[in-house]
Amino acid sequence: MSPEENKALVRRYLETAWNKKDPTIVDELVAEDFAQHAANVLPGREGVKKFFEMVYAGFPDAHFALENIIAEGNQVATRFTVRGTHQGLFLGIPATGKSMTLTGMALLELRDGKIVANWNELDMLGALRQLGVIPKPQG
C-alpha cells in the first residue's frame, strides 16, 4: 500500500474506533499478531478491544481529534488530542466527573492493509492531574 493509502486506513480506524465507538473495526484493520508497545494495552486484537472497552466505560463522551498525520513507507505517525469526561471506572480510577484533555503521539506500522504494531507516547501525567488523581505542582 502507498503512504497515502496507509494514512487513509489509519484515519478510518481511529475515527471508527474512537468517535463512532465501534470496536468491530479492530477485527477488520488490526492484524491478529498485533504488537502493542504502549502501557495499558495488551497485545493482539483482544488487547485492543479491551482497551477500547475501558475507554468507552471511563469516558463515554470521549472525542478523538487527529491533529497531524504523516506517512512514509509502511509507517504512519500521528499527533492527537482526546477530550472527555471521566464518568466511569478507568485504569482502576473511579469516576471523578472531571473533564480531561489528553495529548499524544503514535507510530503505527502496517503490513498488507493491517495495523501490525503501535508505539504511543501520552501525557498521562497531565491527564491524571486534570482528574485530580495526582496533585498539581505548587508554586
User: Topology of 3-130 in CATH?
Assistant: Nuclear Transport Factor 2; Chain: A, (3.10.450)
Kindly report whether the global pTM for this prediction surpasses the value 0.75.
yes
Q: Which three cell numbers stand for residue 29?
A: 484493520
By the 8 A CB rule, do 86 and 131 touch?
Answer: yes
**Which pLDDT does position 104 carry in this prediction?**
97
**Domain residue spans of the chain:** 3-130
Q: Report the distance separating Cα 37 and Cα 101, nearest Å.
A: 22
Q: Over its length of 139 residues, how does the chain's per-residue pLDDT go in tens digits?
A: 899 999 999 999 999 999 999 999 999 999 999 999 877 678 889 999 999 999 999 999 999 999 999 999 999 999 999 999 999 999 999 999 999 999 999 999 999 999 999 999 999 999 999 999 998 888 7
Using CA atoms, how far apart are residues 8 and 64, in angstroms rounded to an integer?
16
Q: Nine-digit cell at 137?
A: 505542582
Phi, psi of 97 (to 5 degrees): 75, 5
